[in-house]
Amino acid sequence: KAGVTQTPRYLIKTRGQQVTLSCSPISGHRSVSWYQQTPGQGLQFLFEYFSETQRNKGNFPGRFSGRQFSNSRSEMNVSTLELGDSALYLCASSMGDSGNTIYFGEGSWLTVV
Amino acid sequence: GQNIDQPTEMTATEGAIVQINCTYQTSGFNGLFWYQQHAGEAPTFLSYNVLDGLEEKGRFSSFLSRSKGYSYLLLKELQMKDSASYLCAVRARSNYQLIWGAGTKLIIKP
């Protein structure tokens, strides 16, 4: 059974550009969550999608957006990139119920220069 | 408000036992998770507690007291590969959102 797949793994962008990150959840999982993690920091929750609807949202500016498709794959977009957006972006999937374990992808390393 | 507290860093000796504590204050409770994260890697699942008591899984055990808003992760027979950050997370509300602690960096010395 394939795990959570994130693409691209590494990318470098320039300030002001926009970026789209992709996440394919484990087959059968309907919930996809996105997190930002900067070096030495904990996980900062961005948003969660469940059955194509945003179920939860963290405290990030509107430059950060996401969506989920009917096959549960998800994308997140960051517009007008800032240097502070440089981070590891992690996607996690689960069945979506309270006791379900979430499984993380290997993440996308974004560097903004 | 919602808050999860963990020590920032702990040091232990190879072969010893270490206990990492996690206290939480959340609106509602639907389970507590522990994850391990090695530097530069994604977090991996260690344990899940929803009822009070101790859950044992090999060298790792996790304890929960819902009345005290308290959990701990116990690691026995420490190995160098256990050097990592350990993250505590609580599923707080009926909307299933996970609230994460900042993580505890565990350093194992020979």
Mean pLDDT along residues B8-30: 94
Whether residue B102 and residue A55 make contact (CB cut-off 8 A), yes or no, is no
CA angle A56/A62/A63 to nearest 5° reads: 120
Q: What is the pLDDT of residue A1?
A: 61
3-state secondary structure of B54: strand
A-chain residues within 8 Å CB-CB of B103? 42-43
Tell me how close the Cα of B90 comes to any Cα of chain A, in angstroms: 10
B87 in A contact zone (CB under 8 Å): yes
The 10s digit of each residue's pLDDT in B41-85 is 899 999 999 999 999 999 999 999 999 999 999 999 999 999 999
pLDDT value of residue B92? 78
Residue with tokens 């981070």: A87
H or E, element range at A107: none
- Chain A nearest-CA distance from B92, in A, is 9
Q: What is the pLDDT of residue B86?
A: 97
Q: What is the pLDDT along chain A (113 residues), one digit of tens a residue?
A: 679 999 999 999 999 999 999 999 999 999 999 999 987 778 999 999 999 999 989 999 999 999 999 999 999 999 999 999 999 999 999 987 766 889 999 999 999 99
